[in-house]
Amino acid sequence: MKELILIKNGEIALKGLNRSHFEEILVRNIKWRLRDLGKTTVKRAQSTIYIEPEDCDFYDFDEAIDRLQKIFGIVMISRALVLEKSMDAILEHIADYCADELQGAKTFKVVAKRSDKRFPLTSPEIAAEAGGAILRRFPRLKVDVRNPDVTIMVEIRDFGAYIHGGQLPGAGGMPVSSSGQALLLISGGIDSPVAAYMMAKRGLQLNAIHFVSPPYTSDRALEKVETLCEKLAPYTGRIKFYCVPFTEIQEALREHCPEELFTILMRRLMMKIATRIAENDEIEALVTGESLAQVASQTLQALHCTDTATDLVVLRPLIGMDKSEIIHISKEIGTFETSILPYEDCCTVFTPRHPRTKPKLKYVVKAEQDYDFGPLLDKAVAETTWKMIP
Ligand code: ATP
Ligand code: MG
């Protein structure tokens, strides 16, 4: 019995002349994510991608489909039986192959699609005959064309005839890396991993940067962020993860700058370091997990202060979301449990008692210039380490 996986891509289909380019990226992402599951041929035709395992009997279809459901750029996934293009073969196998789906159902319908117009029967004729074969095998079933419990598909395409018992939803969005690359500022919190998910969904490939302040922050806090990256990887693909030593900068801030501006200055210095790391990798955008008014450093005025610390585009996909909506996504994508582990982040180490919620840019810039952070910034960039996750 030969089976394969059929993939339908969504928004890519709207891309006109560029479509082929987007599909190539999607195929590359699919091959990479399934690479360790066994040999497959991945080909595309008629806005469908076909994944054909070399050895169907030993291929872990469930695991493959689970992974495919997390790959952006896919809207529908079906596991299908491959047959020669003959009505006899279809009628012989259809009821058996779809038995699991049909057994639990009361009503069904067959939808036939014939993109190979040389096939002698029309789509309605194929559907009627196939429906008849199913009724002979499951006589208590009824046909319901409007609202069936189960829809069985018969597709006559270029390479063969395919039967499947329905479609599973994909993750939607655009293939990762089709929109370019960005650098994510990732903390151990709930928000920034969700921001990563949302921007990967729009086709960005992500590097991540995390600031640590040992001994104020622990190894476990860093491991927690690495775990978050591992949990994001099924959606984002591999992540180049940078770790920046931030202790000396924070100590200098505490000593030389007005306490109420500590948070906003720290965030500006983070943006400056992130910008230098991004530019080294020829990356043109930063991503943060900021959401308007969530905390003191996320007022309009504070966001303006952080924006002006960089020339890069700053993407804040959570800007208009409530915390409850962010938590909902965080639970769906499986980062929530890790995010709520109680380890100190460098942001919480020297939190001022009364942070300025409406900082004026000119005072912030003045305070920043009153102390020469240049050498410390150079040192932090020089001592930054990176690794690939996973
Ligand atoms: P999160 O839940 O993502 O930690 P938050 O609501 O706690 O966000 P802040 O602590 O103000 O908000 O941080 C805002 C954003 O700044 C984060 O979403 C993240 O993008 C970035 N950020 C904060 N701390 C760090 C850090 N230690 N390393 C890298 N980026 C950070
Ligand atoms: Mg945080």
**208-262 tens-digit pLDDT:** 999 999 999 999 999 999 999 999 999 999 999 999 999 999 999 999 999 999 9
Write the CA distances from 134 to 101, 114, 129, 202, 220, integer angstroms. Answer: 12, 19, 9, 42, 57
How many angstroms does the Cα of residue 186 sit away from the middle of ligand 1?
A: 6
The predicted structure's pLDDT at residue 194: 98
Do 173 and 267 contact (CB within 8 A), yes or no? no
> E strand or H helix at 169, and its extent?
strand 168-172
How many angstroms does the Cα of residue 297 sit away from the middle of ligand 1?
A: 10
Residue 10: count of CB within 10 angstroms of its CB: 17
The predicted structure's pLDDT at residue 186: 98
Query: 171, exposed or middle or buried, with CB in 10 Å at 0-12, 13-18, 19+?
Result: buried
Q: 23 Cβ partners below 8 Å, 6+ apart? A: 9, 12, 44, 49
Does residue 368 line the site of ligand 1, with CB under 6 A? no
Six-digit token pair at 325?
A: 């909506």
What values do phi and psi take at 378, rounded to 5? Answer: -60, -45
Does residue 297 line the site of ligand 1, with CB under 6 A? yes
How many angstroms does the Cα of residue 308 sit away from the middle of ligand 1?
A: 18
Residue 279: count of CB within 10 angstroms of its CB: 14
**Beta bridge pairs of residue 385:** 243
Does residue 190 line the site of ligand 1, with CB under 6 A? yes
Do 217 and 345 contact (CB within 8 A), yes or no? yes
The predicted structure's pLDDT at residue 13: 63
Do 196 and 231 contact (CB within 8 A), yes or no? no
What values do phi and psi take at 356, rounded to 5? Answer: -70, 120
The predicted structure's pLDDT at residue 11: 66
Does residue 346 line the site of ligand 1, with CB under 6 A? yes
Among 225, 257, 274, 273, CA closest to 350: 257
**Residue ranges of the alpha helices (H) in the chain?**
19-33, 61-68, 87-97, 99-103, 123-137, 191-201, 219-236, 247-256, 262-280, 300-307, 323-333, 336-339, 346-349, 361-370, 374-382
Instruction: Domains for the chain: give ranges and CATH numbers.
Output: 3-169 (3.30.2130.30), 181-389 (3.40.50.620)
* pLDDT beneath 70: ranges in the chain: 11-17
CA distance 57 to 63: 14
- Cα 348 from chain centre: 28
Do 72 and 174 contact (CB within 8 A), yes or no? yes
The predicted structure's pLDDT at residue 14: 67
pLDDT digits (tens, 9 = 90+) for 144-195: 999 999 999 999 998 899 999 988 999 999 999 999 999 999 999 999 999 9
β-pairing, 239-245 vs 204-212, is parallel
Does residue 347 line the site of ligand 1, with CB under 6 A? yes
The predicted structure's pLDDT at residue 303: 94
Give the ligand whose atoms come closest to the C-alpha of residue 184.
1
Residues counted in the chain: 390
